[in-house]
């Protein structure tokens, strides 16, 4: 039996773009980071015929990624067959970058099986057709950490430039909060949302860049928890106001908006929605603080319709094992 290749990823938090069409010389950009869980665990091996195993959504996505990768490939990779098993998966449409991480994991596994080593993440992203709007996920797949994407010029196939990458303090924790059985915008709905939005003003782009350059990054480098928390909230709030017309509020789900109010009242300041939500990321100084917060809400009857999960920052890229 052919030797399998297993790729294990983290998940991506995306705190928002730095620009939108018309607001600057580039497009989108953004700020985000990688977290330890949830993640994809994808095992692939050569086979006589294609077989894609996993939950229904993951298997369908894998089939589409394999089709794209074959279209972009030459030689034997174009006709080879694969058995691919998605053993663990990031929940789709929850703001955690499941599509990009899965596409890159499949592309990495197939490149390894075909004898290609150390293929750049940018090449993998093009093969899988991911990362054309935001490059946070592809850079996170390669390197982990806290990331700033400088956006791209007008070329349609250009990927965003990584302008900053720092380790996130490993002792800090994040609590992921999300309403059960709810999802954020995706697919055609996401496309329509972007199309209906006016260009981000130069003033807002300037304010977001100021927060990142003058507040967030210096505080992160100094591991100043209070300042990082403030910058995270201010950035997310500004982005949320911009997208309020298409997501229905500063936060995409009313339960999450209510949770933010309660958290702020108890002195928690590092809170931001990731991507289209509905998931919130809540920054905690250590495991004990995260555990206390999670217990307070997960065991409370008022929040039985929501899920709370403690995760760690991920300061490395995806892991490949053979």
Q: Give the DSSP H or E segment for 7.
A: strand 5-8
Confidence (pTM): 0.92
User: Of the given ranges (22-36, 184-198, 243-257), which has the lowest mean pLDDT?
Assistant: 184-198
Residue 12 host element (H or E): strand 11-16
Report DSSP letters for 180-228, one per residue. Answer: TT-----HHHHHHHHHHSPPPPHHHHHHHHHIIIIIIHHHHHTT-HHHH
Residue 61: CB partners within 8 Å, gap ≥ 6? 92, 99, 102, 103
Is residue 132 classed as helix, strand or coil in its secondary structure? coil
Alpha helices in 114-201 (DSSP H): 121-128, 136-143, 187-196
Residue spans of the domains in the chain: they are 5-167+317-321, 173-311
The pLDDT of residue 131 is above 80: no
Per-residue pLDDT at 117: 86
Quick check: 271 and 294 in contact, CB under 8 A?
no
Alpha carbons 77 and 177: distance in angstroms, whole number: 41
Identify the DSSP state of 303. G
pLDDT for 192 beyond 70:
no
Q: Is the pLDDT of residue 186 over 60?
A: no
Between the CA of residue 34 and those of 53, 98, 292, 311, 317, what are the distances in Å?
26, 12, 23, 10, 9
Residue entry with tokens 């196939």: 157
Distances (CA, A) of 91 to 143, 185, 198, 297: 22, 13, 30, 21
pLDDT at 220 over 90: yes
- What's the CATH code, domain 173-311? 3.30.70.890
Name the DSSP letter for residue 216.
Answer: I
> Taking phi first (over 0 means left), then psi (-120 to 50 degrees means alpha), and beta for anything else, what does residue 306 get?
beta
5-167+317-321 is a CATH 3.40.50.300 domain:
no
Residues making up the chain, counted from first to last:
322
Instruction: Give the model confidence (pLDDT) of 246-265 as tens digits.
Output: 898 999 999 999 999 999 99
Rounded CA separation 79/280 (Å): 42
Nearest to 144 by CA among 172, 121, 127: 121
Nearest-Å Rg of the Cα atoms of the chain is 19
d(CA 224, CA 305): 33
Per-residue confidence (pLDDT) for residue 22, from 0 to 100: 44
> 261, 244, 274, 258: which is closest to 306 by C-alpha?
258
Percent of the chain with pLDDT over 70: 89
Is the preceding omega at residue 278 within 30 degrees of 0, hence cis? yes
User: Does residue 38 carry a pLDDT above 70?
Assistant: yes
Q: Is the pLDDT of residue 1 over 70?
A: no
> Tell me, what DSSP letter sits at residue 305?
T
Q: Is 25 a residue whose pLDDT tops 70? A: no
């Amino acid at each position: 039996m052919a030797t399998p290749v297993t790729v294990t990823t983290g998940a991506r938090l995306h705190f928002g773009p730095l620009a939108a069409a018309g607001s600057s010389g580039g497009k989108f950009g953004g700020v985000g980071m990688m977290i330890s869980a949830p993640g994809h665990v994808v095992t692939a091996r050569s086979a006589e015929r294609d077989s894609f195993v996993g939950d229904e959504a993951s298997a369908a996505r894998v089939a589409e990624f394999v089709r794209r990768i074959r279209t972009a490939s030459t030689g034997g990779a174009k006709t080879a067959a694969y058995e691919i098993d998605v053993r663990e998966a990031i929940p789709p449409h929850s703001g955690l970058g499941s599509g990009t991480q899965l596409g890159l994991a499949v592309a990495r596994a197939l490149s390894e099986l075909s004898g290609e080593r150390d293929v750049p993440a940018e090449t993998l992203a093009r093969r899988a057709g991911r990362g054309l709007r935001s490059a946070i996920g592809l850079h996170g797949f390669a390197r982990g950490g806290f990331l700033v994407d400088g956006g791209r010029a007008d070329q349609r196939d250009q990927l965003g430039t990584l302008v900053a990458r720092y380790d996130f303090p490993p002792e800090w924790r994040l609590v992921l909060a999300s309403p059960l059985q709810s999802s954020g915008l995706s697919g055609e709905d996401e496309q329509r949302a972007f199309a209906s939005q006016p260009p981000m003003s130069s003033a807002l782009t300037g304010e977001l860049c100021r927060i990142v350059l003058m507040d967030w990054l210096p505080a992160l480098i100094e591991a100043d928890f209070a300042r990082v928390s403030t910058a995270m909230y201010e950035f997310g709030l500004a982005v949320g106001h911009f997208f309020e017309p298409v997501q229905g509020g500063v936060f995409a789900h009313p339960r999450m908006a209510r949770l933010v109010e309660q958290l702020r009242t108890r002195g928690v300041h590092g809170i931001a929605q990731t991507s289209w939500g509905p998931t919130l990321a809540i920054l905690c100084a250590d495991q004990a603080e995260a555990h206390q917060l999670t217990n307070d809400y997960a065991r409370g009857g008022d929040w039985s319709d929501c899920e709370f999960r403690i995760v760690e920052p991920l300061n490395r890229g995806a892991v490949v094992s053979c």
